[in-house]
Amino acid sequence: MSRLIVVSNRLPLGENPSGGLVVALEDALRSSGGVWIGFSGEVTENPGDSLQDHPGAPFQRLSFDLNSEDHERYYLGYSNSILWPLCHGRPDLMRIRPEFVDGYRQVNRRIADLMIPHLRDDDRIWVQDYHLFPLAAELRARGVTAPIGHFLHIPFPGPADCGALPNPEELFDWLSHYDLLGFQAERDLGAFAESGRQLSDMDHLSDTKFRLSGRLLRAGVFPIGIDAADFIAEAKDAPDEDRMRILTGAKMMIGVDRLDYSKGIPHRFRAYQLLLEKIPDLHEKISFLQIAPPTRGEVEAYQDIREETEHLAGRINGQFASLNWTPIRFIHRSMPRHVLAGLYRQARIGLVTPLADGMNLVAKEYVAAQDPDDPGVLVLSRFAGAAETMEDALIINPHDPSDTAGAMAQAMRMTLEERRERHSRLLKGVVEQDIAWWSRAYLTTLDQAS
Ligand code: GDG
C-alpha cells in the first residue's frame, strides 16, 4: 500500500492531536505508515534547513518553522490578506503587495525542498487548503511523479473575484499540476470551471475532467463532515443543566464562530435586534449566546470586526436588557469542546449565518448534538457550503435582517413534530457523510485520477 503524505499549513501538535481533520486522516495515515507535514507554529529567525520530527502520534509528524518575514508575507500576507478575503467575496479587504506574492511562492518552494528527502516514488500526496496552492508545481519541478491531490476548505472564487488577484494566470498554472482538485460544494466546482474558462486556457472536457496548460486534471465535490458518532456521544454525556435556562427560563439561541468577517456575526446581531423590536413578546423568552474565539488578530480587518461586534452587542443589551434578562452574551474566547457540545444540545436555535463559507462544521455539530426527541432548529445561511446538503434547515439570506429574524421567530414557534422531522433528515445526512466518508471518498477518487 502506498504511503499517504498529508501537507497542511498547521501541523497538529500535542500529545494526542485531535480535531476533525486529524480524525479523518488518522486511519489512512496509520495504516499506510504515512506522514503529516506542516508549520510548527514557531516563528524564529533561524528556521533550519530540515523538517523536525514530532513523535507521540500514531503517524509520523514533520514540521518546519518560519522566519518572521516569511510568516508576514506568506501567512498573514498572501494567504490571509489576499486569498482569504478574495475567496470570501471581500476583494475590497485585500491588501495586495508584491512582496506578499513573492513570500508565498518562496515559502512553498522551501516546503517542497524540505519534503524531497522524505518522499518515496510510490507515495500519494494530499495537500490541504489555500496556503499551499503552488506546492504541486514545486514538487513536480523537483521530479516528483507521485499522485498529488489538493482539497480547498474555503470557497473557490468566481471570475470577477479571481480577476482581482494580482496573478490570476499563475493561480491556474499552480492548480494544473495536481491530479485531483477537491471542493466543498457544487458551487465551488462551478466557480472553478467558469473562472478557468475565462482566465486561463482551461478546457472543460466532461463533468469532472479538465485540460489545463496541456495537463489533464480531475476536480470533484467532497463535502467535508464531522466525527458524528463522537460528537453525538459527547453531547449526550454533557451535564443536563443549562444555567442560563434555569436562571431566566429563556430559550437559548447559539452561535459559534471564529471572530471572522466572513461569518456574518454583526448581521446576525442586527437580525436579533430587529426580532426584539418587532416581537416584544419574545423579550425574556429568548437569549442569544455568541461564542467567538479570537483569530488572526495581527490582520487589521480582524481588529475592526471585533470592535463592531462588541459595540453592537453592547447597544442591543443597552436597548433591551432588564434586571433579570441579558439579551446577548458575547464570549470572545475559546470553550472546551465538551462544553460546546452541551451548549449546542441545550440551544433551541443554532445560528449559522456566514456571508461566505466553504462548508461550516458548526452547522453539522449543532445537528449531531441535538436530543432527537426534542431537537432544536438550525438556521443556516444559503452561502454556507453546508446549505447544499442541509435543506431541512431554515435557509436564510444573511444580508436580509428581516429574513433572518423571521427564521428565528419561526424556529421559536415550530411544533415538536416539525422539529423532529427536520432534525431526523438532517441527522441522517450528517451521520452518513461524516469525516471518515469524506476522506475515503477523496482518496478513492485520487487513486482513480492518477
Ligand atoms: C474552514 C472553512 C470549513 C469554534 N469555536 C470553538 C471551537 N470551534 C470549532 C467548531 C468547528 C470549528 O472550530 C470551526 O469550523 P468551521 O467549519 O465552522 O469554520 P473554519 O474554522 O472557518 O474552517 C470552513 C472548515 O474549514 C473545514 O473544511 O467547514 O468553511 O472556513 O469545529 O466547533 N472549538 C472549541 N472551542 C471554541 O470556542 N473547542
What confidence tens digit (pLDDT) does each residue in 331-354 have?
999 998 889 999 999 999 999 999
Please tell me the distance between residue 349's alpha carbon and the centre of ligand 1 in angstroms. 18
pLDDT level of residue 12 (50, 70, 90 thresholds): confident
pLDDT level of residue 56 (50, 70, 90 thresholds): confident
Break the chain into its structural domains and give their ranges. Answer: 4-225+435-449, 228-432
C-alpha cell read off for 15: 500529545
Please name the residue that has the C-alpha cell 447559539. 254
Average pLDDT over residues 3-13: 93
Is the separation of the CB atoms in 99 and 70 below 8 Å? no
Q: Which residues line ligand 1 (CB under 6 A)?
A: 153-154, 224, 256, 258, 291, 293, 334-337, 340, 357-362, 365
User: For residue range 103-120, what is the model confidence (pLDDT) as tens digits?
Assistant: 999 999 999 999 999 999
Q: What is the pLDDT of residue 303?
A: 82
Burial 364-398 (b: 16+ CB within 10 A, else e): bbbbbbbeeeebbbbbbbebbbbbbbbebbbbbbb
Protein residue whose Cα sits closest to atom 28 of ligand 1: 153
Q: What is the pLDDT of residue 225?
A: 95
What percentage of the chain reaches a pLDDT higher than 90?
85
Which residues are catalytically annotated?
Answer: 153, 357
Q: Which CATH number is associated with domain 228-432?
A: 3.40.50.2000
Please name the residue that has the C-alpha cell 431566566. 248
Protein residue whose Cα sits closest to atom 10 of ligand 1: 362
Which tops the pLDDT comparison, 143 or 305? 143
User: For residue range 391-440, what is the model confidence (pLDDT) as tens digits?
Assistant: 999 999 999 999 999 999 999 999 999 999 999 999 999 999 999 999 99
Please tell me the distance between residue 291's alpha carbon and the centre of ligand 1 in angstroms. 12
Is the separation of the CB atoms in 261 and 225 below 8 Å? no
Whether the per-residue pLDDT at 124 is higher than 70: the answer is yes
Please tell me the distance between residue 362's alpha carbon and the centre of ligand 1 in angstroms. 6
Angstrom distance (rounded) from CA 215 to CA 210: 8
Give me the chain's average pLDDT, please: 94
From residue 104, alpha-carbon distances to 8, 133, 162, 269 in Å are 14, 9, 17, 36
C-alpha cell read off for 342: 452541551
Q: What is the pLDDT of residue 15?
A: 66
Average pLDDT over residues 300-312: 89
Angstrom distance (rounded) from CA 75 to CA 89: 19
Answering whether pTM is above 0.85, one says yes
Please tell me the distance between residue 266's alpha carbon and the centre of ligand 1 in angstroms. 18
**Pocket mutation for ligand 1, best pick of 90, 362, 439, 442 (most atoms within 8 Å of C-beta):** 362
Average pLDDT over residues 155-173: 95
**Pocket mutation for ligand 1, best pick of 22, 258, 365 (most atoms within 8 Å of C-beta):** 258
Counting atoms of ligand 1 from 1, which one is nearest the CA of 260?
22
C-alpha cell read off for 197: 474558462
Question: Check: CATH 3.40.50.2000 for 4-225+435-449?
Answer: yes
The stretches of 142-204 forming alpha helices (DSSP H) are 159-162, 168-175, 186-199
* Nearest alpha-carbon partner for 363 in 180, 200, 228: 228
**Pocket mutation for ligand 1, best pick of 256, 268, 388 (most atoms within 8 Å of C-beta):** 256
Q: Do domains 4-225+435-449 and 228-432 have the same CATH topology?
A: yes
Please tell me the distance between residue 423's alpha carbon and the centre of ligand 1 in angstroms. 21
